[in-house]
Structure 1
Amino acid sequence: MWSSDRARERFSKICRTFPSFRLLFGGDTYTKPLEYCIMQMKNLDSVNQDSPEYNYSREYLEKCFRFMMTIDTTIVHELVSQLLKELDNGLRGAVEEVTVGVIRKMSIDFPNDIGIFSPLFLNHMILEPGQCCYYAAGELHAYLSGECVECVGCSNNTIRAAMTPKYIDRDALCKTLNYKMTEQNDYLVPEMKLTECVDMYAPDCKDFQLHRIRVGVDQSEEEMMMPTLDCASILVVTSGKGTIEEATTKNQLIGQYEVKRGDIFYIPPNHNIRYVGFGELQTKAIIATTC
């Protein structure tokens, strides 16, 4: 969901453009929460996100979302059909064509599912190779396509929202979401170049850290030391092949391993890992850490 004047205007424009979305979010039959939510978002440019005014608006956004998640399934089916007709008739509002394609595909893969509406109120992010994003607890998200490395904290409280035959705890979902309103660029985590071969991604959260390793035959050094971490981590080789050594912090050799694409290694805290032999192609690996 979004913050900033541009993002709030986008939400307001989508509500004005798609009658099906207005009905789903409580418009007309539940007018006050939806209209008040839109009005409040338009007036939040100079309001601190910790202020009562901002939190009051988020309460109304929660009411709109709860209305959507608890609406009768027969009505959802009707509104999904209406949304697809609206798109067929050329309605777009603030929705980009690439997002329209996502909605259509979702309607084929998950017919009549409430999640078909989600691209209208969630940020649609298309990450380029090497980009990283971070979602805090309590934020709706879904993966659409492509390959990625996901770091998840030790938890068993994942709450489903849509696009699944499994049980959805709607009440817990509505209570757990933080209804944070921000633009997609705020989720991106910038890369920090540690060495010629190592990039680090460290979000504003001490629990997660990710290192991207790229070594190859054109290396200036004969070996490459990977970051030594004081917590456990996992090494995933994503392409190429080579040789790595594992040692203690006192450089006592533990083992030497031939690695290739698809190999996964557990790295205990404070163990040194270094590449000592490079394959014919560039070798890429990811070290994922959840402390």
Structure 2
Amino acid sequence: MNRMIKVGLAGLATLIACSSLVSSPAFAIDDTIKTAIDGTFAPHAMPTLDGKLEGFNVDLINLIGERLGKKVDLTGAQFSSLIPALQAGTYDFLAAPVTVNKERSASLLFTEGFMDTNFSFVVPANAGDFKTLEDFKGKTIAVNKGSAYDSFLREKEKEYGWKVESYGTNSDAVAAVMSGRADANLAGNTVAAWAVKQNPRLKLSYEYSTGLVWAFPFRKGDEANRDLVEKAMECLKLDGSMAKLSEKWFGVTPVAGTTIVTPTKGFGTPGFDGYVENDHKASCDNLK
């Protein structure tokens, strides 16, 4: 009988210990946030001459740490290694731009979006206005080979009557526009904005809305920390910090109502697993 009680108590102790490990926060007040990003995805993250990282997401994650009163330990790594490392507990969450979709939200817990993941066309600065996809009919469009933008253009090639030219890098596709070998380039909205910011001979043109957003992924079950980081994100949207980052890195002043400057109701990304609808009010109070 005593042996059974001892075994039972030992089992209970093990259960409590395991429960504590599962429910304890990945990081606590005054601790360092451990996070990571693909350090080659300009203008979100790119290497500096002194071996550090700079970019939109680098600034964003440091501002989040500042608002929460935490230090930030940011690591640069290949994108393909980031999610496995997160799931293994190497990082508290990822600072990388990760598109929220049904497949990913089934295994990851996402914050609300920090930016819309739209497609943007880049055209010569002296080109006319393009207001719809139909306006590109008969045009030659340069794109990064094998990208989502390449697939999009080829799927709709017959429907819209454009000609698709694929290049090994998006930089090469942009160069094709500058040399007159293509009428436009299609890329992600931020990459397109970065290309235009670097070259006054180009301008942003029509932006195609995908309805998707970039957000920060956490491990499933880490709602407490997800919600804490999301509150900091909402603060940065409200106090104008996100708009300033957009202007700094993309040369674009966000339009009111877009994800980058508009807090989302509840916690998480609406329409996807892990979203919690509630009436918490976005503010910059009581973050630390």
Normalised to the residue count of structure 1, the TM-score between the two structures is: 0.23
Is the helix fraction higher in 1 or 2?
2
Q: Tell which structure's C-alpha radius of gyration is larger.
A: 1
- More contact order relative to length (CA 8 Å, sep ≥ 6): 2
